DNA sequence: TTTTTAATAGATATTCAAGTCTATTGAAAA
DNA sequence: TTTTCAATAGACTTGAATATCTATTAAAAA
């Protein structure tokens, strides 16, 4: 079970941004180095974050990205859906169009458990939860590192 | 969150086989029709199941596949790993080589929850659980349908 | 023995996510 | 105003997963 590479990148980038304690924007370049995400690819992801209203961008010298709303208002689900990572509540591992509690496919019951736990996770985890977990990842964001 | 297409196919095919109540083998052709998996692609997946010892194959007229061991002995994890679907317990969403409870990446704590629930699911769910869930999927396996 | 059914093998094709490259636009600093 | 930094835009490339095709091998039935 995994996220797509892009979805993983999106979570990573947003996690890094929330860890930046001062109010200055993080440039794409710094963010790319801190997260290990290919810089041009990261740019595309960030563009989507801006369009989705999760992040604000600032062009030009000293510019970069910062969160557009409070960390606790940004759920993982919002981030994942922004990069087109569909968490389809009715998707069926068996490939059935109609698959629900009334008309379950052979794998419906067991698969539902797992799907529900992912749903819960993505809807309830926010960037605030990332900020609450102290560790030294912030040091990655030093603009003069590397 | 999703399985790879191949991993999904593997679960589907094995689920279908366990639902066959008589002791006759299921042919690749019937299985392909019942599951909607491209038949040649399914053949490759089944070959891996045979090599892994989960399934026994019988060539020639009247041949096909049947389980090589009791349904409760076949966990989802076994099936997934057979198609190279790695469930890496130490994988890190943040891409860190060393990421554990002592040296957690910013996403470690929240991600661990989810990973653990998947681990539990794949290790504890077996084909017996599929067999225990009554529904009319067995009818898909009628050799003369379609 | 011949025919038919079905697994096995492997080469080839297709598709899409992921990654790269080049150029443009916008804003701050000098 | 000029320079520099950095986001934006989009064309292009790559590679792995997925799918298809053709042929061969094995076993049962006729």
Asked whether residue B39, judged by its CB, lies under 7 Å from any atom of the DNA or RNA strand C, the reply is no
Confidence of residue B126 (pLDDT cuts 50, 70, 90): very high
* Nucleotides of strand C within 7 Å of the protein's CB atoms: 4-10, 17-22, 25-29
Chain center to CA of A25: 18
pTM, to two decimals? 0.90
Summarised one tens digit per residue, pLDDT across range B6-22 is: 999 999 999 999 998 88
Q: Decide if pLDDT at B125 tops 70.
A: yes
Helix (H) or strand (E) segment spanning residue A78: helix A76-82
Report the C-alpha gap between A15 and A31 in whole angstroms.
Answer: 10
Provide mean pLDDT across the span B56-78.
96
- Cβ burial of B64 (10 Å; 0-12, 13-18, 19+) is buried
**The pLDDT of residue B64:** 95
Q: Decide if pLDDT at B122 tops 80.
A: yes
Q: For chain B, how big is the Rg over CA atoms in Å?
A: 18
List per-residue pLDDT tens for chain A, 146 residues long: 789 999 999 999 999 999 988 889 999 999 999 999 999 999 999 999 999 999 999 999 999 999 999 999 999 999 999 997 777 777 888 888 888 888 888 899 888 888 888 999 999 999 999 998 766 555 655 544 33
Taking an 8 Å cut-off on Cβ atoms, the answer to whether B133 and A11 are in contact is no
C-alpha distance from residue B98 to each of A135, B104, B108, B111 (Å)? 13, 8, 11, 15
Q: In angstroms, how far is C24 C1' from A60 CA?
A: 13
Do A125 and B94 touch, CB atoms closer than 8 A?
Answer: no
Alpha carbon of A110: minimum distance to chain B alpha carbons (Å): 8
Provide mean pLDDT across the span B117-136.
87
> Which residues from B are below 8 Å from A135, CB to CB?
103-106, 108
Q: Which two tokens stand for residue A30?
A: 């710094």
Least confident window among B57-71, B82-96, B116-130: B82-96
Say if B137 is an interface residue toward chain A (CB within 8 Å): yes
Helix spans in chain B (H): 5-19, 28-35, 39-51, 76-82, 108-124, 127-131
Chain center to CA of A47: 13
């Amino acid at each position: 079970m995994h996220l797509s590479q892009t979805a993983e990148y999106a979570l990573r980038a947003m996690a890094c941004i929330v860890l930046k304690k001062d109010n200055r924007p993080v440039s794409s370049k710094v963010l790319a180095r801190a997260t290990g995400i290919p810089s041009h690819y990261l740019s595309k992801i960030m563009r989507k974050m801006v369009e989705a209203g999760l992040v604000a961008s600032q062009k030009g010298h000293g510019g970069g990205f910062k969160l557009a709303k409070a960390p606790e208002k940004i759920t993982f689900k919002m981030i994942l859906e922004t990069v087109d990572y569909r968490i389809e509540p009715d998707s069926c591992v068996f490939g059935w169009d109609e698959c629900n509690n009334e008309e379950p496919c052979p794998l419906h019951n067991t698969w539902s458990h797992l799907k529900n736990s992912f749903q819960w996770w993505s809807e309830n985890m926010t960037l605030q939860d990332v900020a609450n977990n102290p560790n030294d990842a912030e040091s990655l964001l030093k603009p003069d590192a590397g």
